[in-house]
C-alpha cells in the first residue's frame, strides 16, 4: 500500500481539526434545527464546545501516531462534553480511538473498524437509544464504511463515501421521528456530525473551511449573550445592526464580506428585517455599518466595548457571591445546575454545596460538573442536573470519579428545588437520593417563552413571535400575550387542584410586570398560595412550579 493510502498521526490530527473548524463555521445552522420553537436551541454550540476541548487536548498532547492522536482527541471530548449531543459525540470519538489503539497509521480497513467501534460505543452509552438521531447517522456511516472497505484500500475514498452516507442519513431522520417531520427539520445532532465529517473531506480537497454555508436564524433565537464566550483576542468591539435590505440583497455575498471585517457573525431575520451581529477590531468597528448602508436601510445600531462589558460581568459576579452550605467529611454534598442568579440563591439557601451556572441555554461540560465536587471534603455527592440535556454529562462525570456519586434525573428547575427539600446531609446516600428521585413527580413545571419560528407540533399551531408554554418540557399552547399564556397554562394543568404556585421571572422581564401578572394569578386562585421569585434565567419570561 502506498503512503497516499494511509493517514499518519499528523494527517488524522489535521482532519480532526478541519472537522472542528467546519462545525464552528456552521454551528448556528445546527442550532437553528431545534424541534421546539424555543429561542435556545444549542445542539451546535454543545457539539462545538465539545470539539473545542478535543482539539485543545490533541494539540497539547505531543505525539506522532494516529492511535495516540485519536486517544488524546477522545479524552478531550470526554471532559469537554456538553449536552446530550456533546456526550454522544464524545462516545463516538471514544469508540473511534479504541479501534485505533496502538496504530501509527490509519488504513481504509482501520478507518472502517473505527467507525464501527464508534457506532457500538455510542449506542452502549445511551440507556434507551432513539432512532432518527445522531445515533442513526453513526450507524449508517459505519455500515457504509464496512462496505467501502471491501471495495477500496484508500481511506480518502472511504471517507468521501462516509460523508455521502451521513448526508443521506440526516435527510432520512424525519422518517424515524414524526416530531422532526412536524417541525420541518432534520436531526440537529446528526447534522452536526455530518458537518464534522464533511469538514475532513473539504480539507482533503483544499476547500475553504471558514466560509459558512450561511444560515439565517429567527431574530428571537439570536443568543447574543453567549457570543461573549467566543470573543477572540483583539476583537474588542461588538456591533449589532438592524436593517431592511434592498431588493438586490445577496445573503451569501453579505456573509463573505462580513468575514473580512470580523468574527462571531450571526444574522437573524424576521418580518422582512435583518439583524447582524459581529465582533471587530477597534479600528474596524464602523466598517459593518458602512457596508450595510450599501445593502439597505439601517433602523438601529448598537455598539459595545466587549472588554468593558466583560469587566462589568466579572464585577457583578464578585458582588453577588453565594453562600453555600458547608459540608464535612462523610456528609452528603449536593451539586446543582442553575440558569439564573435568583434561582442559584434559592438553591444555596436550601443547602446546596455548589451551583454550576448553566441550563437550557448553556449546558455545563463533564469537566465543569467534575470540578464542582472533586475538591469538596466528602466522597458522597448528589448531582441535580435540572435539565434533560445535562443528565448524560452528569452521569459521565460520575463515571470518571472515585467518589460515590448519585445523579438525580431532574429535568426542570422546579423538580430540582423539590428534590432539595428532601436533603438530609447526614443521611444515608442511597436513601436520600431515592427520596429526591421520588419527589420529582410531586411538581408540575411550566415554561413560558417567545416562539423563535412558526411551526405546528402535536396539534399546537405556533407563529413566530407568539408566546408559548411548555408543560414538563412539552409544547402545550400558544398565545398572543404573556399574561394570557400564563393563565391558559394554569387552567390547562388544573392549578386549582394544587396548593402552591411559585413563579420565577426571567432576566428579560421587569419586576413590576412580573408582579402585575402574579397579582392576576392571585386573584384567579385565591385559595392557593402564590409566590413570586426573581429567577434571573435568560430567554424564559417565566418558570412556573405547581405543587
182-221 residue pLDDT tens: 888 899 999 999 999 999 999 999 998 876 655 565 555 5
- Quote the CA–CA distance of 171 and 186 in Å, as a whole number: 6
Answer whether CATH 1.25.40.340 is correct for domain 3-204.
Answer: yes
- Quote the CA–CA distance of 114 and 92 in Å, as a whole number: 9
Q: Give CATH for domain 320-442.
A: 3.40.50.510
Report, as an integer, the average pLDDT of 59-65: 81
pLDDT digits (tens, 9 = 90+) for 311-347: 544 444 444 567 888 899 999 999 999 999 999 999 9
Q: Would you place residue 293 in the very low, low, confident or very high pLDDT band (cuts 50, 70, 90)?
A: very high
**Is the distance from CB of 105 to CB of 8 less than 8 angstroms?**
yes
For residue 456, pLDDT beyond 90: no
- Quote the CA–CA distance of 142 and 136 in Å, as a whole number: 10
User: What is the DSSP secondary-structure string of 240-290?
Assistant: EEEEEE-TT--HHHHHHHHHTTEEEEEEEEETTEEEEEEEE-GGGTTHHHH
For residue 372, pLDDT beyond 50: yes
- Quote the CA–CA distance of 38 and 45 in Å, as a whole number: 15
**Is the distance from CB of 418 to CB of 472 less than 8 angstroms?**
no
Answer whether CATH 3.30.70.260 is correct for domain 217-313.
Answer: yes
pLDDT digits (tens, 9 = 90+) for 406-454: 999 999 999 999 999 999 999 999 999 999 999 999 999 999 999 887 8
For residue 231, pLDDT beyond 60: no
So what's the pLDDT on residue 70? 95
- Quote the CA–CA distance of 486 and 488 in Å, as a whole number: 6
**Is the distance from CB of 26 to CB of 212 less than 8 angstroms?**
yes
With residues binned 3-state (H G I as helix, E B as strand, rest as coil), the percentages for the chain, rounded to 5, are 50, 20, 30
Which residue has cell 445523579? Answer: 407
* Size of the chain in residues: 547
Which range is least confidently modeled, 29-38, 62-71, 140-149? 29-38
| Residue 79 CB contacts under 8 Å (≥ 6 apart), including other chains | 53, 57, 365, 366, 367, 370, 400
User: Quick check: helix, strand or coil at residue 60?
Assistant: helix
Hey, which bits of 376-488 come out as E strands?
A: 380-384, 404-407, 444-450, 455-457, 460-462, 467-471, 474-479
So what's the pLDDT on residue 228? 46
- Quote the CA–CA distance of 546 and 442 in Å, as a whole number: 9
Helix (H) or strand (E) holding 229: none
Residue 514 C-alpha cell reads as: 412580573
Helices 9-31 and 43-61 meet at what angle, rounded to 10? 160
Q: Would you place residue 366 in the very low, low, confident or very high pLDDT band (cuts 50, 70, 90)?
A: very high
Higher pLDDT among residues 303 and 80, named by residue: 80
Share of the chain above pLDDT 70, in %: 91
Mean pLDDT rounded to a whole number for the chain: 88
Residue 309 C-alpha cell reads as: 462589558
- Quote the CA–CA distance of 217 and 233 in Å, as a whole number: 26
| Residue 497 CB contacts under 8 Å (≥ 6 apart), including other chains | none
User: Where are the domains positioned within the chain?
Assistant: 3-204, 217-313, 320-442, 444-546
The fold for domain 444-546 equals Hypothetical Protein Tm841; Chain: A;domain 3 (3.30.1180)
Distances (CA, A) of 25 to 49, 58, 212, 259: 13, 20, 5, 11
For residue 73, pLDDT beyond 70: yes
Distances (CA, A) of 273 to 218, 267, 385, 491: 10, 10, 38, 36
For residue 39, pLDDT beyond 70: no
For residue 272, pLDDT beyond 80: no
So what's the pLDDT on residue 55? 93
Share of the chain above pLDDT 90, in %: 66
Amino acid at each position: 500500500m502506498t503512503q497516499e493510502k494511509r493517514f499518519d498521526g499528523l494527517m488524522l490530527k489535521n482532519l480532526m481539526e478541519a472537522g472542528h473548524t467546519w462545525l464552528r463555521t456552521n454551528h448556528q445552522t445546527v442550532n437553528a434545527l431545534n424541534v421546539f420553537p424555543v429561542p435556545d436551541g444549542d445542539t451546535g454550540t454543545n457539539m462545538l464546545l465539545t470539539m473545542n476541548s478535543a482539539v485543545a487536548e490533541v494539540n497539547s498532547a505531543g505525539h506522532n501516531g494516529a492511535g495516540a492522536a485519536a486517544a488524546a482527541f477522545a479524552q478531550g471530548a470526554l471532559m469537554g462534553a456538553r449536552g446530550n449531543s456533546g456526550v454522544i459525540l464524545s462516545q463516538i470519538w471514544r469508540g473511534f480511538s479504541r479501534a485505533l489503539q496502538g496504530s501509527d497509521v490509519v488504513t481504509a480497513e482501520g478507518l472502517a473498524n473505527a467507525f464501527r467501534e464508534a457506532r457500538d460505543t455510542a449506542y452502549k452509552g445511551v440507556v434507551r437509544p432513539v432512532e432518527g438521531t445522531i445515533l442513526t447517522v453513526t450507524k449508517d456511516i459505519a455500515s457504509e464504511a464496512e462496505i467501502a472497505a471491501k471495495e477500496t484500500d484508500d481511506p480518502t475514498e472511504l471517507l468521501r463515501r462516509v460523508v455521502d452516507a451521513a448526508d443521506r442519513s440526516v435527510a432520512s431522520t424525519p422518517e424515524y421521528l414524526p416530531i422532526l417531520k412536524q417541525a420541518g427539520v432534520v436531526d440537529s445532532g446528526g447534522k452536526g456530525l455530518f458537518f464534522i465529517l464533511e469538514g475532513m473531506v473539504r480539507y482533503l480537497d483544499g476547500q475553504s473551511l471558514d466560509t459558512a454555508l450561511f444560515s439565517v436564524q429567527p431574530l428571537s433565537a439570536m443568543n447574543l449573550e453567549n457570543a461573549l464566550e467566543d470573543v477572540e483576542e483583539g476583537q474588542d468591539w461588538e456591533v449589532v445592526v438592524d436593517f431592511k435590505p434592498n431588493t438586490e440583497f445577496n445573503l451569501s455575498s453579505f456573509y463573505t464580506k462580513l468575514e473580512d471585517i470580523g468574527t462571531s457573525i450571526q444574522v437573524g431575520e424576521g418580518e422582512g428585517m435583518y439583524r447582524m451581529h459581529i465582533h471587530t477590531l477597534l479600528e474596524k468597528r464602523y466598517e459593518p455599518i458602512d457596508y450595510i448602508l450599501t445593502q439597505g436601510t439601517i433602523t438601529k445600531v448598537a455598539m459595545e466595548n466587549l472588554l468593558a462589558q466583560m469587566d462589568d460581568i466579572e464585577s457583578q459576579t464578585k458582588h453577588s457571591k453565594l453562600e453555600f452550605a458547608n459540608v464535612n467529611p462523610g456528609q452528603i454534598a449536593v451539586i446543582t445546575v442553575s440558569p439564573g442568579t435568583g434561582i442559584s440563591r434559592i438553591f444555596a439557601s436550601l443547602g446546596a454545596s455548589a451551583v454550576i451556572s448553566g441550563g437550557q441555554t448553556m449546558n455545563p461540560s463533564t469537566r465543569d460538573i467534575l470540578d464542582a465536587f472533586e475538591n469538596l471534603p466528602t466522597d458522597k455527592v448528589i448531582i441535580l442536573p435540572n435539565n434533560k440535556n445535562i443528565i448524560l454529562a452528569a452521569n459521565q462525570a460520575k463515571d470518571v470519579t472515585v467518589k460515590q456519586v448519585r445523579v438525580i434525573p431532574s429535568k426542570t428547575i422546579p423538580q430540582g428545588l423539590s428534590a432539595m427539600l428532601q436533603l438530609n446531609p447526614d443521611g444515608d446516600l442511597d436513601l436520600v437520593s431515592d427520596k429526591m428521585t421520588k419527589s420529582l413527580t410531586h411538581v408540575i413545571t411550566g415554561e413560558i417563552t417567545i416562539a423563535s419560528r412558526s411551526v405546528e407540533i402535536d396539534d399546537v399551531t405556533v407563529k413566530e413571535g407568539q408566546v408559548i408554554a411548555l408543560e414538563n418540557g412539552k409544547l402545550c399552547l400558544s398565545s398572543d400575550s404573556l399574561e394570557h399564556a400564563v393563565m391558559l397554562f394554569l387552567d390547562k394543568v388544573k392549578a386549582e387542584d394544587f396548593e402552591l404556585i411559585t413563579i420565577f421571572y426571567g432576566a428579560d422581564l421587569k419586576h413590576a410586570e412580573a408582579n402585575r401578572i402574579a397579582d392576576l394569578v392571585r386573584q384567579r386562585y385565591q385559595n392557593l398560595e402564590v409566590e413570586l421569585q426573581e429567577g434571573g434565567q435568560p430567554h424564559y419570561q417565566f418558570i412556573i412550579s405547581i405543587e
